Amino acid sequence: MSQRIFSGIQPSGSVHIGNYAGALRNWVELQKNHQCIYCIVDYHAMTMPYDPAQMPQRVLDAALDILACGVDPERSLLFVQSHVPQHCELSWILGCTAPMGELNRMTQFKEKGERVDSVTVGLFTYPVLQSADILLYRAGAVPVGEDQLQHLELTREIARRFNARYGDTFPEPKPVLTPSPRVMDLSDPTRKMSKSVEGSTIMLSDSDEVILRLIKRAVTDVGPAGDEMSPGVKNLFTLLEATASPEVVAKFEADYASKSLRYGDLKAALSESMLATLRPIRERRAELAANPKRVLEILGDSARQCRKMADETLAEVRHKCGLGAGL
Ligand code: TYM
């Protein structure tokens, strides 16, 4: 059996094209040959201020987007993190070997810490919970965008420390990147695209009109022209790679190399490939949204299977750590 795959996404409203290009398209691809476990990480979403009344809808929206992208519940598991509270137990256990100095260096912690009045312990230990998510299922590979590489490196470090202290238990999981692991913001292509920036992020649920407007307005040249491709144009190529055929990408790369590239043509091709990619996703999403009961069933069935796997790992972990019964 090939190695097990695990990945997660925060339920933060609509999924955007960066999530798709950097991670979700690999989630779908990897299902063909691997056992895949995908998680909507609501415990993680609690690390930033939020409205509890909105959380259930956010989770359902994330599930709809993920299934609409092509994650197949017949092949893969898709569950909600808080339905498997074992993640928290392993997080505590791993936290007792995780080095505080390394957590302090996490760039996501530093960035998010600057956005809140008071930094919580939850925000600080976020990457330990992420390590627990992955290690609980002994996943060997984790499809993520580039921004998660540091957390993955920490997960490997935590696995090594645990194995050294308590005996070989966890594999060291490797990241799996797409060719477009870092999609940038359309109006400020020096900044990573994220859900928190409205008006320059393409959401999977956006209408054709909105998508066309966002691409039309996307920044191309910023700063003085040099020999290097500008960040805006580079980002358009990134998005083209994620949505168009290799032939289309090769044609525009050749135009760029021969200095005959017209940004208008590039944007027109990108608009076409983006609409062609997102339309069927939007249609599938609408079909799924008409039957939320089915979606909840999928999440419930998956959680049941995950709890079973989680219990098996935890029984071994508790035993190795000298915890619980046995006295
Ligand atoms: P999240 O919810 O921010 O993002 C979900 C996935 O999308 C990728 N991504 C991007 N890729 C390319 N360009 C972008 N602009 C872009 N923005 C987001 C992310 O890298 C990610 O793969 N901490 C994680 C969630 C998590 C997790 C896990 C992931 C919790 N536990 C265990 C893997 C394994 C996060 O906040 O992702």
Q: Which residue has the higher pLDDT, 14 or 90?
A: 90
For residue 123, the CA-to-ligand 1 centroid distance in Å is 15
pLDDT of 76: 98
Phi-psi group of 194: left, alpha or beta (phi > 0 → left; psi -120 to 50 → alpha; rest → beta): beta
85-115-56 Cα angle (round to 5): 35
Of the residues 192, 234, 259, 267, only one is catalytic, namely 192
- C-alpha span between 262 and 96 (Å, rounded): 56
Compute the mean pLDDT over every residue in the chain, rounded to the nearest whole number.
95
For residue 23, the CA-to-ligand 1 centroid distance in Å is 7
pLDDT of 222: 60
112 is catalytic: yes
Can you tell me the mean pLDDT for 74-102?
A: 97
Residue 85 in this model has a pLDDT that exceeds 70: yes
With bands split at pLDDT 50, 70 and 90, how would you rate the model's confidence at 184? very high
Beta-strand (E) ranges in 261-301?
none
Say yes or no: CB of residue 144 within 6 Å of ligand 1. yes
Give the DSSP letter of residue 98: S
Residue located via tokens 């359902």: 60
The answer to which of 35-44, 73-82, 198-207 has the lowest mean pLDDT is: 198-207
Can you tell me the mean pLDDT for 187-214?
A: 91
Can you tell me the mean pLDDT for 116-138?
A: 96
With bands split at pLDDT 50, 70 and 90, how would you rate the model's confidence at 223? low
For residue 257, the CA-to-ligand 1 centroid distance in Å is 33
- Amino acid identity of residue 255, one-letter, is D
Can you tell me the mean pLDDT for 134-140?
A: 98
Which has the closest alpha carbon to 106: 156, 147, 140, 45?
Answer: 147
Helices (H), 41-190: 42-45, 55-69, 86-95, 100-104, 107-115, 121-136, 149-166
Q: Percent of the chain beyond pLDDT 70? A: 97
